Homo-oligomer: A and B are copies of this chain.
Amino acid sequence: MQIGINIKNVHSYLKNKLDELKNDANVNVIYQKDMKSLRNIDVLITTSITLEELESANRLKIIFLPYTGVNHLPLEEINKKNIQIVNSHAHAPIVALKAFSLGLALLGRVVELHEQLKKGKWHGIDGTSTWSSIAHKRCGVIGMGEIGKHLLGYLKPFQIEITTLKRYQGKCTAIENVIYYDSIEKVCQNSDIIFISLPLTKETKNIIDFNILSKMHQQYIVNVGRGALIDEEALYNALKNKTLKGAALDVWYQYPKNGDTYPSKYPFHELDNLILSPHCAGNEKNSRQNVYDEMLDNIKRFINNGKLKHIVDVKNEY
């Protein structure tokens, strides 16, 4: 079996694990520099795949992604070739922690007060400028997969109330005090801070729209899902006009290709009620190992004709 790795800088932990696998099983590992096409590849570890690459991939059975989101892949064409996509959920605890940390920083005005004090401007000491504790707050959680569940665990010591969607009933066991609503609009209106960790699909694109964002004068949003879950223009205007109180965004609308890139065509970087985070929620120091452990376990399952974990439902796009 040929395992191809279409990643530039392969982490030494993954390399070592694949070396171990080669010794144990009838496996050959081909790295990017030796891979001219996907013609002979059975199993591909990659972060993306182009239509051109896909064309030659006649033996390819599985694509393993070292993260969760699949919205950037040519799903239809992958499906047509009967290739399965397996993604990773091992990042969930740390993505949830990034969301939680950003939420505390937002309510606590950590970034804003830091920037001011860097200039010698003191806020707070005179009592004119205060921050908010997350304790006893209504925390909206939109997305109750692994990330949402871990987030609930971190929020638990703060006697918060969870507001979320009816369809997550039964998934919020970590917190006693949960209120369910039948629409995202109602969750947003009835929360102090909203954490978003949905996958991006045709259904969820721009699911937070102008209508919702125009009524959140007292509310904050933390987004660790995908940028396009929130309407780009409406979000910028809502933050600028303070119809949305503040936000912390780890996911964006424009990503760097070569060199510096602002994260949106709108000047989000000029706003003072926003914390910018460079899509790093999954990039925790020690968590790569968890992702690779999960992946190797899955590859071994494939070799032994076992049942794979975390197969992406291509129709539902997650």
Contact = CB atoms under 8 A, between A and B. Distances in A.
Contacts of A306: none
Nearest to A124: B280
30 contacts: A94-B135, A97-B134, A97-B135, A98-B108, A101-B108, A104-B104, A110-B275, A113-B278, A113-B280, A114-B275, A115-B115, A117-B277, A117-B278, A118-B269, A119-B269, A120-B261, A122-B278, A123-B280, A125-B280, A127-B283, A129-B283, A130-B280, A130-B283, A131-B280, A132-B286, A133-B285, A133-B286, A133-B287, A156-B157, A157-B157
A111 interface: yes
Given A101-B104, A104-B100, A157-B153, A279 B119 contact: no
A116 to B, nearest CB: 7
Contacts of A266: none
Interface in A212-242: none
B277 A113 contact: yes
A69 interface: no
A312 interface: no
Contacts of A130: 280, 283-285
A280 B129 contact: yes
Interface of A: 9, 11, 93-94, 97-98, 100-102, 104-105, 108-111, 113-125, 127, 129-135, 153-154, 156-158, 255-256, 260-263, 269, 275-280, 283-287
A127 B9 contact: yes
Contact of A105 (B105, B116, B135, B158): B105
Contacts of A125: 255-256, 278-280, 283
Contacts of A116: 278
Contacts of A275: 110, 114
A275 B120 CA distance: 14
A280 B132 CA distance: 11
Contacts of A97: 104, 108, 133-135
A135 B91 CA distance: 13
A61 to B, nearest CB: 26
Nearest to A275: B114
Contact of A110 (B93, B111, B117, B123): B111
Contact of A283 (B124, B263, B276, B279): B124
B284 A132 contact: yes
Nearest to A280: B124
A5 B53 CA distance: 76
Given A114-B111, A129-B283, A269-B118, A278 B104 contact: no
Given A120-B261, A129-B280, A131-B283, 5 more contacts: A94-B133, A98-B108, A110-B110, A110-B111, A113-B278
A257 to B, nearest CB: 10
A47 to B, nearest CB: 10
Contacts of A109: 280
